[in-house]
Structure 1
Amino acid sequence: MRFGVWVPLFGELADPRVVARLAASAEEAGWDGMFVWDQLWWRPPVSEVGDPWITLAAIAVATERLRIGPMVTPVARRRPTKLLRETTTLDVLSNGRLTLGVGLGGDQFAGEFSRSGDEVNDRVRAEKLDECLEILTAGWSGETVTHRGKHYLVDSVRFEPRPVHGRIPIWVAGFPGKLKPVRRAARYDGFFPVNLTSPDQLATAVAAVEAERGSLDGFDIAIELSPSTDVRPYATAGATWCLTDVDPSTLRLDDVRAIVEAGPPR
């Protein structure tokens, strides 16, 4: 199992310089990855919120080994071609260390969709997510992309440069008991089941992904756990990555720094 620091960019962590220094410390302490939330705003008492893409660029420059990425970005509120350019450029900047975490997002957390004029219908956002992933994977291939879908148009465009390793790994987030996110994840490189309650629930989700794919070779299962939770039952259930779960309502830089400096729970 590999271990990643996963933080919301709130409060003191809204400053990309602070997070970049944390990432450098995480690399020195033996962590395998540094992942960040992608939010426009959050509920009170949170008022300061940082941008994930600029922060990830700062992390990329400050580190040499860590895997990095947004975990997760709600793809439906982004233009696919712009996201394609951003992901490729960040992957090149990090020398091929980007993992793209994707999902539907949810308006229930902070009203990000309804209060900004974005799509609030889950079904429509799912359609947009699937179309966008098709455009991203086609664009990363270096071949000419022509896409005429229900929501997006790309008319005979070739996107260069390509990602360092030819394509960027995609982890799909979703609730473990729902079949559609499992099927979506099975088409890509990883599954991030959110709101897990037990190792048994994870084992059921892993079995569902394996049934869709036929094999889990080269496929990641990422989970979120509090730093004090025993990771061994989750590793036995199939997890390949464990991300630190930090409560945004009580987030303090000193607490995150202590978690980072303590190193991963190997």
Structure 2
Amino acid sequence: MRAAVWLPLFDELADPIVVARLAAAAEGAGWDGFFVWDHLFWREPVKAVADPWITLAAMACATERLRIGPMVTPVARRRPVQLLKEAATLDVLSRGRLTLGVGLGSDRFAGEYSRTGETVEDRVRAEQLDESLGILRAGWSGEPVVHEGKHYRVDDVRFLPRPAQGQVPIWAAGFPGTRKPILRAAQYDGFFPVNLQTADELAVATDRLRAIFGQDALPEGFDVVVALEPEMDPRPFEEAGATWGLTDVDPASLSLADVQAIIAAGPQW
């Protein structure tokens, strides 16, 4: 199971230069990836929140090996063609090291949807997410995109340059016990079960994925991503099918010194 640093870009970590230096240190300490939260603002006591895409660009320039990406981007908050171009450009900048985490997002943490005039209906955001992902995949192909959907329109546009990887890997997030997110994830490159409590919950989700794929094992290259708190034993999660473990931290109490210590200690699984 590969190991990644996973951080909110809050307060002391709301400086792209600081985070780029942390990413370089993580690469030197043997971590496999470095992923960041994607938020506009957050509830108290958090005050400052950085943009993930600018920060990821700085991280790409400071590293050579780490896999990087937003984990996760609430796609309904973004125009799909803008996200398409940002992801392709970042993948070129990083020489093919971007993984795009996607999900519905939630209004419950800071009111990011309701306070900025976005829809709070899960059903609508799910429609926007699925439609956007289709546009991303079509646009990254390098072929002209013609799309007339319920929420978005693209009229015969070719988006170049393509990502360095050809297609950016997509990890879809969702609650592990909910059918639709698992079905969505199976169409792409990985599943990130959020609010996962036990390895048994993960085992149920991976069983469902194997049933969708119609085989005894998950396809080669398909990732299952889990967030692990420091006291969690990673072995049961790996046995249940996890291929990546992410550091799960508390944004309310996290400090730069804490992050530096986590990174310097190196991967714990």
Kept in 1: contact 2:190–2:225 (CA 8 A): yes
CA-to-aligned-CA distance 1:94-137 (integer Å, 9 cap, x gap): 00000000000000111000000011110000000000000000
CA-to-aligned-CA distance 1:49-107 (integer Å, 9 cap, x gap): 01000000000000000000000000001001000100000000000000000000000
Q: Which amino acid aligns with 1:43?
A: R
Q: Which amino acid aligns with 2:265?
A: A
Find the aligned partners of 2:117 and 2:267 in 1 and give their Cα distance. 40
Other-structure match for 1:73: 73
The answer for unaligned runs of 5 or more in structure 2 is none
Other-structure match for 1:21: 21
Other-structure match for 1:139: 139
Other-structure match for 2:256: 253
Other-structure match for 1:224: 227
Other-structure match for 2:265: 262
Kept in 2: contact 1:227–1:259 (CA 8 A): no
Find the aligned partners of 1:18 and 1:226 in 2 and give their Cα distance. 23
Other-structure match for 2:197: 197
Give SS of 1:248's match: coil
Equivalent pairs counted in the alignment come to 266
Other-structure match for 2:152: 152
Kept in 2: contact 1:137–1:167 (CA 8 A): yes
Kept in 1: contact 2:91–2:165 (CA 8 A): no
Find the aligned partners of 1:30 and 1:128 in 2 and give their Cα distance. 37
Q: Does 1:233 align with 2:236?
A: yes
Q: Which amino acid aligns with 2:32?
A: D
Q: How far is 1:145 from its partner? A: 0.3
The answer for unaligned runs of 5 or more in structure 1 is none
Q: How far is 1:227 from its partner? A: 2.3
TM-score norm. by structure 2 comes to: 0.98
- Pairwise CA RMSD: 0.7
TM-score norm. by structure 1 comes to: 0.99
Q: Does 1:188 align with 2:194?
A: no
CA-to-aligned-CA distance 1:28-50 (integer Å, 9 cap, x gap): 00000000000000010000101
Structure 1: which 4+ aligned runs deviate by more than 4 Å? Answer: none
Kept in 2: contact 1:171–1:185 (CA 8 A): yes
Give SS of 2:90's match: helix
Q: How far is 1:198 from its partner? A: 0.6
